[in-house]
Amino acid sequence: MVVHLADRPASILRRGYPVIQALNVAGTVVGVAWYWPQLLHTRILLLPFVPDCPLAAAFLAVALLVWRKGRGEALQGFAIGVALFYGAWTIALLWRTGSAGNLADEAMLWAHVGMMLEALLLWHAARPHRGWRLAALWIAANTFVDYALGTHPALPQAAPAQTVAWLTAVAAIAVALAVPAIEPAT
C-alpha cells in the first residue's frame, strides 16, 4: 500500500488511534489532578475556565473520535485551535522560565508537545474550516477569566502574573487576528 505524503497525518491518526486516545485520557486525568487543589476553591461558574490544558486534551479526544466518523468539522477546528494555543503557551512558559528540569516539569513539557503534534496531525488530516472563531472566543474569554478574575494556574516564580497576563492577552489577540485567514466568512 502506497501512502502519499498528504495522507500521512490521517494514516498516523488512524493507526495510532487507541494509543493517542489513551494518551488524551491520561493527559486529561493527570491535568485535572494537577488543577484539583485550585478547582476545590473555584466558584462553580468559573470551573470550566480553570483546567485549560486538560480540557484541550479532552476536546482533542472528542474531535478525533468524530473525525473518524467523518463529522464534527466545527468541533475539530475548535479543539485544534485551543490545543495549539494552550500547548504553545505551556511550552513557552516552561521554556522561558527555565522550569523544565525536574521530572514532573519535563513530563508536562513533553505532554504539551504531544498535544500540539496531535492537533497539527488532526489539522492536516481533517482540514477544518469551521470552529476557529469559537476557539478564538474561548481563548479570549478564558484569558479574561484567568487574569482579570484570578483563575490562572500556578505560575513559576520566574513568571510574574502581570507579565504572563499581558503576553497571554497579546497571544489571544494574535489568534483572533489569524482566524479570518483560517475560517472564511460564511
Averaged pLDDT for residues 105-123: 91
- Assign 91 a pLDDT band (cuts: 50, 70, 90): confident
Which is more confident, 180 or 95? Answer: 95
C-alpha 16/C-alpha 94 separation (Å) is 28
The 8-class DSSP code of residue 46 comes to G
CA angle 182, 185, 186 (to 5 degrees): 125
Domain for residue 38, yes or no?
yes
Has this prediction a pTM greater than 0.75? yes
Range of the domain at 112: 8-182
DSSP per-residue codes, 100-125: BTBHHHHHHHHHHHHHHHHHHHHHHH
What would the pLDDT profile of 50-77 be if each residue is shown by its tens digit? 999 999 999 999 999 999 999 999 999 9
Averaged pLDDT for residues 5-24: 88
- Assign 185 a pLDDT band (cuts: 50, 70, 90): low
Determine the pLDDT at residue 6: 54
Number of domains making up the chain: 1
Coil, strand or helix: which one is 156?
A: coil
C-alpha 183/C-alpha 33 separation (Å) is 34
- Assign 157 a pLDDT band (cuts: 50, 70, 90): low
Domain for residue 120, yes or no?
yes
Averaged pLDDT for residues 17-26: 95
The chain-wide mean pLDDT, for the chain, equals 86
Determine the pLDDT at residue 178: 72
Determine the pLDDT at residue 3: 47
Helix (H) or strand (E) holding 47: none
Domain for residue 144, yes or no?
yes
Domain for residue 3, yes or no?
no
Determine the pLDDT at residue 180: 66
99: which 3 cell numbers? 522550569
Domain for residue 59, yes or no?
yes
Whether pLDDT at 2 is above 60: no
Q: Which of 128, 125, 129, 127 is nearest to 8 (CA)?
A: 125
Domain for residue 71, yes or no?
yes
Domain for residue 163, yes or no?
yes
